[in-house]
């Protein structure tokens, strides 16, 4: 059974690949119905699918493809001209074939789809021209496909008569077999003569062999009597082909490898880890550089770090490229769609495709298919006018839709232009007002660009009648959601009577992005750089309040503001400084100024999902792991712009209520708490001994970091701190600076206890916020009195 599954998988992959090309070929065929090369290619697809499906016992599929093959075979021999009507039938049958293949993929069986109607129509096409005997003399080109026919003849009488042909009369069947056998005999002769004459044709034959051979090797169906013959036949021609074109065969085989997407995803994950490790290494390198300034080994370390960093970046790009697919994969289905639509809508529309080789990440290619379908349908239905009107307006009868893809910096731009009637701003506003999507006031203040964006509002539709094609007011909303899902933006431009141009700007890949890291209080957030237009530093008095909302003036415009802390409910522990930074976010036509406390910098981040449990949190698109191993959340710009509308602005308002916590009523000496920060145990003991007589509570910390974390835990309410200056990890000055950042510790007396006595040392102490400066050595009494003074020690507690 496993073997069967494996074969089935191969069959499906091959078939889907073949069909992808098929649609385009067929549409092309309609314009050039006598292109034999094209016909042969199409015929081969039908044939290959038929052959394989009969081996795998997919009766319905075999039945259908067999009849398709008949029609195409007639056409190939010039016995049938492909008219649009016949083409419709062929296209219909191909759609059925796709549906059948999908069913097979999902259920491993091809039941449940009725093909009889289509088969009858196919038969009509075939019979309309009688059962003509194949012409005796044939040109060189169709010879290849003829070869394929022989094989059909070989297997049909054996494996097919119990499978298909159910609809055929016995006579018909006989005639068919007769015809094919005759054909083959005539062909056999012809081939022996011309076999070695043309290199290119034997190469092609080789191709058709390759498609066919694996099937012949499958030891399942096929009557044994026929099979050896077919095998010998195969090997004969294979030898011939090899003799004729050995070099070509070599170079065309080893070009590509089919790799499971899961493996690529895994590889991408590993690269992600590597990028994180690289970020971490760079951070450590910076730290080391700072600490060991001027040491000779630093240069070597620097070199290694930069090599690792470069190689990692290259590796990342290389792996990204393996995941890239040409966008042509998506574009391919549009010629067919345009053809169908123009017939349905009675319009003449031509599609021009540029840049189908432009490559995009596989996951994005999968996401943009649907939006493009909607956009193009929209252009056909609403954009392009009917031929009569076009002529009236002096345009050519045939409307043109241009589909372009190209790279622009770190983004891919997909541009859809039509030369239709364009978007009417007034009409868009009126319709939106009618449907209650916007208010009167909004409509008045709307720029043209904003008005164009109205077509993306859910429920919006300008079509007077709901047609098969559009008018349900769903499509363009889907476009917006899908494009935003891949962090893309949409840009519309339009002029009445001239046409509409829509640009989808999409990042190259999803997994790793450039981000701007911002800080608010003690938290960090990452904002995708693609949505950041600029950053500006403002002082508090530049913020105005209009109707309860904060705004600022940015050059000519008024920018609405929101504090990231309000959106993410950040607790305000730290004192906000006089300045704040505004990150101007832009998404399509809307803008928002996001106020943050600090700008940390730009970094390459790997997007990680928050998992099942936390997915879909408003405003959070995911998380990333930073160089220090911590997790930083990634801002969902789309959501945050929406949330900003509902957030009340408390921004930049000082809250000092926390300070009240410090002034508890003291009822006994031990209510006073003093922290001693010194890296020397001896020094700490000396201070402890000096202060113990006071009866105050004493807490010790070995260095600045420890002291800070004790403060943060908030287990004690400190009344004063004795701080040594020279300490490992974090010295006294930095500690003081850090402490002063916190609102609630702003007024905490810091007393430096140090052996540094220089004037500059004292100055630095004052700058960092120390209020007293005790030099070692000191007397116990002196220390006690200084502390007593600073904590307002009530004298009645003295024993």
Q: Which two tokens stand for residue 416?
A: 């859809």
Give the Cβ contact number of residue 15 at 10 Å: 23
Q: Are 752 and 774 in contact (CB under 8 A)?
A: yes
Q: Is 611 in the site for other proteins (CB under 8 A)?
A: yes
User: Measured from the CB atom, is 429 or 563 closer to other proteins?
Assistant: 563
Q: Is 287 in the site for other proteins (CB under 8 A)?
A: no
Instruction: Give the binding range for other proteins (CB under 8 A) out of 1-9, 19-27, 103-111, 627-635.
Output: 627-635
Which run of H or E residues covers position 444?
Answer: helix 440-444
Instruction: Give the binding range for other proteins (CB under 8 A) out of 254-262, 469-477, 615-623, 655-663.
Output: 615-623
Q: Which residues contact 709 (CB under 8 A, 6 or more apart)?
A: none
Instruction: Give the binding range for other proteins (CB under 8 A) out of 50-58, 536-544, 609-617, 649-657.
Output: 609-617
Q: Are 149 and 183 in contact (CB under 8 A)?
A: yes
Q: Are 562 and 595 in contact (CB under 8 A)?
A: yes
Q: Is 706 in the site for other proteins (CB under 8 A)?
A: no
Q: Is 617 in the site for other proteins (CB under 8 A)?
A: yes
Q: Which residues contact 107 (CB under 8 A, 6 or more apart)?
A: none
CB of 618 to other proteins, least distance (A): 5
CB of 579 to other proteins, least distance (A): 24
Q: Which residues contact 656 (CB under 8 A, 6 or more apart)?
A: 743
CB of 786 to other proteins, least distance (A): 31
Residue 284: name the closest of 516, 599, 628 by CA.
Answer: 628
Instruction: Give the binding range for other proteins (CB under 8 A) out of 83-91, 186-194, 235-243, 563-571.
Output: 563-571
Q: Which of 203, 226, 449, 608 binds other proteins (CB under 8 A)?
A: 608
User: Measured from the CB atom, is 114 or 612 closer to other proteins?
Assistant: 612
- Report 717-756 residues binding other proteins (CB under 8 A): none
Cα gap 686→784, rounded to integer Å: 12
Is residue 563 flagged as an active site residue?
Answer: no
Q: Is 262 in the site for other proteins (CB under 8 A)?
A: no
User: Measured from the CB atom, is 246 or 630 closer to other proteins?
Assistant: 630
Q: Are 68 and 152 in contact (CB under 8 A)?
A: no
Instruction: Give the binding range for other proteins (CB under 8 A) out of 112-120, 185-193, 336-344, 619-627.
Output: 619-627
- Report 322-361 residues binding other proteins (CB under 8 A): none
Is residue 524 flagged as an active site residue?
Answer: no
Distances (CA, A) of 322 to 138, 253, 319, 365: 44, 19, 5, 14
Q: Is 614 in the site for other proteins (CB under 8 A)?
A: yes
Q: Note every long-range contact of 165-169, with CB atoms under 8 Å and residues 24 or more positions apart, other chains counting.
A: 165/66, 166/63, 167/63, 167/116, 167/119, 167/123
Q: Are 677 and 723 in contact (CB under 8 A)?
A: yes
Instruction: Give the binding range for other proteins (CB under 8 A) out of 51-59, 308-316, 401-409, 620-628.
Output: 620-628
User: Measured from the CB atom, is 384 or 620 closer to other proteins?
Assistant: 620
Q: Which of 569, 578, 665, 796 binds other proteins (CB under 8 A)?
A: 569
Q: Is 630 in the site for other proteins (CB under 8 A)?
A: yes
Q: Is 657 in the site for other proteins (CB under 8 A)?
A: no
CB of 696 to other proteins, least distance (A): 23
Q: Which of 71, 75, 145, 276 binds other proteins (CB under 8 A)?
A: 276
Q: Are 423 and 452 in contact (CB under 8 A)?
A: yes
Q: Note every long-range contact of 618-621, with CB atoms under 8 Å and residues 24 or more positions apart, other chains counting.
A: 618/643, 619/567, 619/568, 619/643, 621/528
Q: Are 660 and 313 in contact (CB under 8 A)?
A: no
Q: Is 648 in the site for other proteins (CB under 8 A)?
A: no
Q: Is 466 in the site for other proteins (CB under 8 A)?
A: no
Q: Is 297 in the site for other proteins (CB under 8 A)?
A: no
Cα gap 623→606, rounded to integer Å: 8
Q: Is 632 in the site for other proteins (CB under 8 A)?
A: yes
Catalytic site residue from 73, 285, 378, 482? 378
Is residue 47 flagged as an active site residue?
Answer: yes
Q: Which of 125, 625, 690, 784 binds other proteins (CB under 8 A)?
A: 625
Residue that has been written with the tokens 């008949």 in this structure: 70
Measured at the alpha carbon of residue 118, what is the angle toward residues 115 and 121, in degrees to the nearest 5?
150
CB of 519 to other proteins, least distance (A): 13
Catalytic site residue from 63, 66, 67, 69? 69
Q: Which residues bind other proteins (CB under 8 A)?
A: 273, 276, 523, 567-570, 608-614, 617-620, 623, 625, 629-633, 713, 715
Could you give the residue numbers annotated as active site?
47, 69, 378
């Amino acid at each position: 059974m496993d073997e069967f599954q494996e074969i089935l998988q191969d069959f499906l992959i091959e078939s889907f690949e073949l069909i992808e090309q098929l649609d385009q070929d067929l549409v092309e065929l309609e314009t050039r119905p006598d292109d034999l090369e094209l016909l042969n290619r199409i015929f081969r697809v039908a044939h290959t699918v038929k052959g394989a499906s009969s081996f795998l016992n997919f009766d319905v599929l075999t039945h259908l493809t067999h009849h398709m093959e008949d029609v195409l075979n007639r056409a190939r021999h010039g016995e049938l001209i492909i008219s649009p009507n016949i083409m419709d039938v062929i296209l219909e049958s191909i759609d059925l074939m796709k549906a059948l293949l999908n069913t097979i993929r999902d259920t491993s069986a091809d039941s449940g789809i009725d093909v009889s109607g289509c088969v009858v129509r196919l038969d009509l096409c075939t019979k309309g021209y009688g059962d003509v005997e194949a012409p005796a003399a044939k040109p060189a080109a169709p010879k290849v496909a003829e070869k394929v026919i022989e094989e059909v003849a070989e297997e049909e009488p054996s494996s097919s008569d119990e499978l298909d042909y159910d609809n055929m009369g016995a006579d018909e069947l006989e005639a068919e077999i007769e015809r094919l056998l005759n054909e083959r005999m005539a062909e056999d002769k012809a081939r022996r003569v011309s076999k070695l004459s043309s290199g290119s044709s034997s190469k092609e034959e080789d191709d058709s062999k390759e498609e066919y051979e694996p099937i012949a090797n499958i030891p399942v169906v096929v009557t044994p009597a026929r099979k050896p013959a077919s095998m010998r036949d195969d090997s004969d021609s294979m030898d011939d082909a090899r003799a004729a074109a050995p070099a070509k065969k070599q170079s065309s085989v080893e070009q590509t490898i089919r790799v499971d997407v899961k493996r690529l995803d895994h590889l991408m994950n590993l690269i992600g880890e590597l990028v994180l490790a690289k970020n971490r290494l760079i951070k450590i390198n910076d730290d080391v550089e700072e600490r060991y300034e001027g040491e000779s080994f630093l240069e070597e370390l620097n070199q290694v770090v930069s090599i690792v960093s470069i190689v990692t970046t290259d590796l990342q790009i290389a792996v990204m490229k393996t995941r890239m697919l040409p966008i042509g994969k998506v574009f391919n289905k549009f010629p067919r769609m345009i053809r169908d639509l123009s017939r349905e809508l009675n319009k003449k529309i031509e599609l021009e495709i540029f840049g189908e080789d432009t490559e995009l990440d596989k996951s994005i290619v999968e996401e943009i298919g649907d939006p493009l379908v909607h956009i193009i349908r929209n252009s056909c239905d609403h954009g392009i006018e009917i031929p009569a009107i076009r002529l009236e307006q002096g345009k050519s009868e045939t409307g043109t839709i241009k589909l372009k893809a190209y790279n622009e910096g770190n983004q891919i731009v997909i541009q859809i232009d039509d030369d239709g009637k364009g978007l009417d701003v007034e009409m868009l506003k009126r319709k939106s007002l009618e449907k209650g999507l916007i208010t009167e006031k909004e409509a008045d203040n709307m720029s043209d660009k904003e008005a164009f964006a109205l077509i993306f509002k859910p429920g919006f539709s300008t079509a007077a009648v709901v047609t098969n094609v559009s008018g349900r007011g769903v499509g363009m909303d889907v476009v917006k959601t899908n494009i935003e899902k891949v962090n893309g933006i949409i840009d519309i431009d339009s002029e009445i009577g001239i046409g509409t141009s829509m640009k989808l700007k999409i990042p190259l890949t999803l997994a790793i992005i450039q981000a701007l890291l911002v800080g608010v209080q003690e938290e960090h957030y990452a904002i995708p750089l693609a949505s950041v237009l600029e950053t500006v530093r403002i002082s508090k008095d530049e913020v105005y309040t209009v109707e309860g909302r904060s705004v600022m003036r940015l050059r000519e415009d008024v920018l609405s503001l929101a504090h990231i802390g309000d959106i993410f409910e950040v607790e305000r522990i730290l004192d906000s400084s006089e300045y704040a930074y505004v990150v101007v976010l832009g998404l399509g036509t809307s803008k928002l100024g996001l106020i943050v406390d600090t700008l940390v910098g730009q970094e390459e981040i790997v997007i990680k999902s928050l998992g099942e449990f936390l997915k879909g949190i408003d405003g959070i698109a995911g998380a990333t792991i930073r160089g220090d191993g911590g997790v930083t959340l990634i801002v969902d710009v789309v959501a945050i712009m929406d949330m900003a509308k509902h957030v009340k602005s408390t921004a930049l308002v000082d809250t000092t209520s926390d300070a009240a916590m410090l002034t508890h009523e003291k009822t006994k000496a031990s209510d006073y708490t003093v922290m001693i920060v010194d890296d020397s145990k001896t020094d700490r003991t000396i201070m402890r001994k000096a202060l113990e007589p006071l009866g105050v509570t004493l807490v010790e910390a070995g260095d600045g970091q420890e002291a800070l974390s004790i403060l943060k835990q908030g287990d004690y309410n400190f009344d004063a701190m004795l701080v040594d200056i020279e300490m490992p990890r974090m010295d006294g000055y930095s500690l003081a600076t850090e402490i002063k950042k916190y609102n609630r510790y702003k007024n905490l007396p810091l007393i430096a206890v140090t052996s540094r006595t220089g004037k500059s040392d004292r100055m630095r102490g004052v700058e960092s916020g120390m209020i007293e400066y005790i030099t070692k050595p000191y007397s116990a009494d002196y220390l006690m009195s200084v502390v007593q003074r600073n904590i307002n020690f009530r004298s009645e507690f003295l024993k």
